[in-house]
Amino acid sequence: MKRDLIGFGAINYDFICLIDKLADSGEEVPIKRLYTCPGGSVPNTVVTLSVLGKDVALAGAIGKDNLGTELLDFYRSHDIDIKLVLRKGGDTGRAFVFVDKEGKRTIYPFGGVNSDIRMEDLDMEKIRDFKMVHVGSFANPEQLKIQEAISRLGVDISFSPGMIYAKMGLKYIKKILKNCKILFLNEGELKILTGSSVFVGISLLNKIGVEIVVVTLGEKGCLIGLKGDITKVKAKRVNMKDETGAGDAFAGGFLYGILEERELIECGMMGNEIASYAIRDFGAISGLLKPKDLWLNR
């Protein structure tokens, strides 16, 4: 019997800096508070699915440093299979996230050993043990080649390309898109990736071969595109502290619905709900780990 999902993406440790406003050139703006927590888009989604009770694993690389050890301990404590997480000489990936008093953010990522993963590092046959693979962006083209190979394994592909791949354009990631079951983008990423309006962009991606295109709209909810038909799922308004990782948490909630074989509208509702918990605290997963009575009598 196949397991639920494995994630392959950049594994980072987040440093979240709370500031009043982003600094202009030459300006000094003091950091008011500093939070640290596990991060990385794909790991955030995997953690979300683990909290929701799914059988999940993570593939990628961390450094042989204290941050890497801390991350491994965290994943083990949340029942995430880390047998395919490599330890490489060098620094664990980091992301420096600056959040202003309105909850808006700017991110400065440092790839570290995420950029050192090679094709021979990954056991493709073990990936076939899962119903779905969730992949995300890397800075190094070598990892894109690995993701393209994964997309040809015959396993359902879920893809969160993020702004890094969106800015590179459709041609850069088209081989993955042709084999992609579910694609997650926010509104800005969609427009940059396709060079089109939201509805035209969703239809274009469906025509390329993406079965289900999901576009998050923040507090407005999400759009789901299937075979050219587009459905909007509204979200409830909540007080936002930090939007870091909201899309990753949304993807976890949506994929939970997919793995439970729910209707797409219900998957969108689950994604919106889980994202609403993520934005109530600082960091992508802190808000998800607190309300243990949340997870959901479904």
Q: What is the CATH number of the domain that holds 153?
A: 3.40.1190.20
Identify whether 4 is part of a domain.
no
Identify whether 273 is part of a domain.
yes
Identify whether 5 is part of a domain.
no
Average pLDDT score over residue span 173-186 = 96
pLDDT at 295: 44
Dihedral pair phi/psi, residue 2, rounded to 5°: -75, 145
- How far apart are the C-alpha atoms of 11 and 138, rounded to whole Å? 10
If pLDDT is split at 50, 70 and 90, which confidence band does 201 have? Answer: very high
User: 2-6, 166-170, 289-293: which range is least confident on average?
Assistant: 289-293
282 compared with 43, residue with greater pLDDT: 43
- Residue 180, pLDDT > 80, answer yes
Average pLDDT score over residue span 86-112 = 89
Q: Are 136 and 86 in contact (CB under 8 A)?
A: no
Identify whether 110 is part of a domain.
yes
- Residue 6, pLDDT > 50, answer yes
pLDDT at 118: 93
- Residue 298, pLDDT > 50, answer no
DSSP 92: P
Q: Are 177 and 204 in contact (CB under 8 A)?
A: no
- How far apart are the C-alpha atoms of 172 and 192, rounded to whole Å? 13
Identify whether 295 is part of a domain.
no
- How far apart are the C-alpha atoms of 184 and 174, rounded to whole Å? 15
- The H-or-E segment that residue 239 falls in is none
Work out the mean pLDDT of the chain and round it to a whole number. 89
How many domains would you assign to the chain?
Answer: 1
Name the range with the highest mean pLDDT among 24-38, 185-199, 284-298: 185-199
- Residue 240, pLDDT > 80, answer no
Kindly list the distances between the CA atom of residue 233 and the CA atoms of 157, 271, 273, 297, in Å, as whole numbers in the listed order: 23, 10, 11, 21
- Residue 120, pLDDT > 60, answer yes
Domain that holds residue 86: 11-22+31-289
Q: pTM of this prediction?
A: 0.90
